[in-house]
Structure 1
Amino acid sequence: MTRQVDKDPAYPELLRSGNTMLQRDMADYEALSAANIENYIGTSRVPVGIAGPVDVHGDHAKGRFFIPLATTEGTLVASTSRGMKVINECGGVRVKVVRNGGIQRAPVFEFETIDDAFEFNTSLSEDWSWLVPIMESTTSHGTVLDVRSWQMGRTVCVRISMDPGDASGQNMVSIASQRGAKAIARKYPSISRFRMGGGLSGEKVPANINSLLGRGKGVTASVTIDGDVMRRITRADIANIPLHQQNYANFSMWGGNQNTHNSLANTLPAMYIATGQDVAAAVESHRANNLFDYDHENEKLHWDLHIPNITAGTIGGGTTLPTQRECLELIGCYGSGKVNKFVELCAVAALANEISFWGALCAHEWIDAHADLRNR
């Protein structure tokens, strides 16, 4: 029982009893979770299933893996496993980190005139190298990648990008960027005021700027699927998948979406919850796209899933909690030097579920699968 609950009579009587499911194993977690939660009352247990195995040919993730997924949605683990079976029978999946976009903060600076704003923007764009030692002095892990700025009227937003190493890095980059913003304000007396949140960081939003300039890791997973394999495992005609997906993309974009995937909002959060990631960052991956090249003659579908932004870490934050650490260790991704391996496996799991979803949709079994598994 936490001291706060003990001493505060306003807390619900159920919690004050100390006998709830929430409060099981509290002693094991209370000291560990001090940096992760306030007013701690226990742990909410989300079921963890295991998808796989899947054969992976990555630059960092190499071999056969079982992927832990924490979810309350029936069919997710089964669907991802089915997609992995397709991948395995087609020789495995090639996956690669194609960009290190870093993590961003975007302080905004205000001026009295548009001329002052213009002069500041020009000056900082020409030379920001003096900021590097100031910001890097706040961390032993982070390095400055880039500083860009944009003027809008009498304001200038400065987008600071840093590589946080194997941490997800939001807090690290926040501290470093605040030190940098204060140094900027001292150097340029024409600045009337500044604020740390200028709107161009792209944090926890599906922002176009993330896709274009980078945030987190950009990852592409690729597989060539044989038509016979797809038909045998999913009962779908592989030729229909790119056609059906094009219809989906057309109407999806008409409705305001700018992506051509369907299931990343299921797969990535499930993997994030299991492994102690900041689950809200999964929305940054929403700009992902399926890319198809169908070989009619040989009945093969070359399928790439490009995820321009995966924000994750293998040290710090929630990764240190016991069950989250175990899930990272299960896939060999806990600790330093493992973040690229982890994001490659995130992309593989996402592609596997995409394959299964589009197979079910084209075989007219998507709704039936949910109903059947719900009633088992």
Structure 2
Amino acid sequence: MTTTPSATTTLPAQTSGTAPQDASTPIPLRWIGPLRISGNAAEGETHVPLATYESPLWPSVSRGARISREVDTGITATLVDERMTRSVLVEARDAQGAHAAAQAIDDRFEELRAVTGKTSRFAELLAVRHEIVGPLLYLRLEFATGDASGHNMATLAADALLTHVLTHIPGVTYGSISANYCTDKKATAVNGILGRGRNVTADILVPHAVVQQRLHTTAARIARLNTTKNLIGTMLAGGIRSANAHYANMLLAFYLATGQDAANIVEGSQGITYAEDRDGDLYFSCTLPNLIVGTVGNGKQLPCVEDALTRLGCRQDRPTGANARRLAALAAATVLCGELSLLAAQTNPGELMAAHTRLERSTGADDEQ
């Protein structure tokens, strides 16, 4: 797939096996930007691909990207942590037996690391966390997985570790290879606290003049709306470790364009937006603790995905894991662009709906809001 940065193309529907491809369900895709990024995982300017049916998303993210280019350092993306998890369940006769098994597993951590290393040259056991419910022992296994998002790698390692535990730890029996304490594709407190995937915070300091000229608002109004809408509104709704306007919109579009497992936007869209008025300048950040992305693995060999990852600079000869970290940083920066643009629009009565009406009834979806 080749495209100019502003052109609309389609991401073809993909099928597995020998079934014919259904070309009647394309997903429109545009390259937006460039956005300017800095930090410990990515530097420079790059366009980003977004595959979506919601056409107003393109100009909204484009507005955020334009603002990033008007700040010297652009958006700073800080990768805080990375780990993929899989939980398993073993059962004892009672809680005392489950506790004794947990202690024995902790004592054998280096042994378990060696078992993990035999399942993949990229898998590394980072930690084992446990919870006990009566006779049930839930083990949350945390792995480094290189440039892969790591679902299958973690499950393969978990299967080997579970076999090892059942063989060498007395008093426990098999419960399940997947015990929902991971937690995979579900919004949970444990993922928000401990993280699953790449944990990235993207932030930017937007000068007063840029806020006024490009966003048509003020830092004070955005900061107040973030408190009343994202924080208090989400609390009233019972949100789980999350306070943002629409992370899922940008993540789904980015995930589809770069060959990610789209269902991971469930936990991926957990995150917290922070906004602060600094003497008229706007400090704005998006923290995403569950960015599950990879640059190798299932689906990444498709031509359209290969092209996207290459253009994003995520196919270069770097140390293991660096391409996936870059991709996670770009995902977080893209989320910030869309989040900032939407919150700014919502500080002005009528702007959001007027923009949707204008853009969805015209062909000018490249226009910035």
Cα 1:39–1:207, aligned 2, differ >3 Å: closer, same or farther?
Answer: farther
Q: Which runs of 5+ in 2 are unaligned?
A: 1-11, 363-369
Q: Which runs of 5+ in 1 are unaligned?
A: 1-25
Q: 1:240 aligns with which of 212, 218, 221?
A: 221
Q: 1:350 aligns with which of 335, 343, 346?
A: 335
Q: Which residue of 1 aligns with 2:344?
A: 359
Q: Does residue 200 in structure 1 map to residue 186 in structure 2?
A: no
Q: Which residue of 1 aligns with 2:161?
A: 180
Q: Structure 2: how far apart are the matches of 1:267 and 1:341?
A: 17
Q: Structure 2: how far apart are the matches of 1:264 and 1:39?
A: 35
* Deviation of 1:323 (Å): 0.4
Q: Give the 4+ runs in structure 1 shifted more than 3 A.
A: none
Q: 2:273 aligns with which of 284, 290, 298?
A: 290
Q: Does residue 59 in structure 1 map to residue 40 in structure 2?
A: yes
Q: Which residue of 2 aligns with 1:254?
A: 236
Deviations 1:146-188 (A, max 9, x none): 1121111010001111111001110011011101101101112
Deviations 1:164-216 (A, max 9, x none): 10011100110111011011011123113321111111111222212222211
Q: Does residue 320 in structure 1 map to residue 306 in structure 2?
A: no
- The 5 A counterparts of 1:35-114 are 37-38=16-17, 40-43=19-22, 44-91=25-72, 92-100=74-82, 102-114=83-95
Cα 1:126–1:212, aligned 2, differ >3 Å: closer, same or farther?
Answer: farther
Q: TM-score, normalization: structure 2?
A: 0.88
Q: Structure 2: how far apart are the matches of 1:192 and 1:326?
A: 47
Contact 1:134 1:180 in 2 (8 A): yes
Aligned residue type for 2:292? T
Aligned residue type for 1:255? A
Deviations 1:336-374 (A, max 9, x none): 641111111001100000110011111221111111111
Query: What secondary structure, in the 3-state scheme, does the structure 2 residue paired with 1:81 have?
Result: helix
* Deviation of 1:130 (Å): 1.2
Q: Structure 2: how far apart are the matches of 1:192 and 1:171?
A: 23
Contact 2:105 2:165 in 1 (8 A): no
Q: Structure 1: how far apart are the matches of 2:284 and 2:37?
A: 15
Contact 2:185 2:265 in 1 (8 A): yes
* Deviation of 1:234 (Å): 2.3
Q: Does residue 368 in structure 1 map to residue 349 in structure 2?
A: no
- The 5 A counterparts of 1:130-279 are 130-248=111-229, 249-258=231-240, 259-279=242-262
Contact 2:192 2:270 in 1 (8 A): yes
Q: More deviation in 193-202 or 269-278? A: 193-202
Cα 1:242–1:202, aligned 2, differ >3 Å: closer, same or farther?
Answer: same
* Deviation of 1:39 (Å): 6.1
Q: TM-score, normalization: structure 1?
A: 0.87
Q: More deviation in 146-155 or 127-136? A: 127-136
Query: What secondary structure, in the 3-state scheme, does the structure 1 residue paired with 2:62 have?
Result: helix
Q: More deviation in 138-147 or 228-237? A: 228-237
* Deviation of 1:38 (Å): 4.5
Query: What secondary structure, in the 3-state scheme, does the structure 2 residue paired with 1:317 have?
Result: coil
Q: Structure 2: how far apart are the matches of 1:88 and 1:136?
A: 43
Contact 1:105 1:201 in 2 (8 A): yes
Q: Structure 1: how far apart are the matches of 2:16 and 2:206?
A: 44
Larger radius of gyration: 1
Contact 1:234 1:363 in 2 (8 A): no
Q: Which residue of 1 aligns with 2:4?
A: none
Contact 1:277 1:318 in 2 (8 A): yes
Aligned residue type for 2:340? I
Aligned length: 342
Q: Structure 1: how far apart are the matches of 2:20 and 2:287?
A: 40
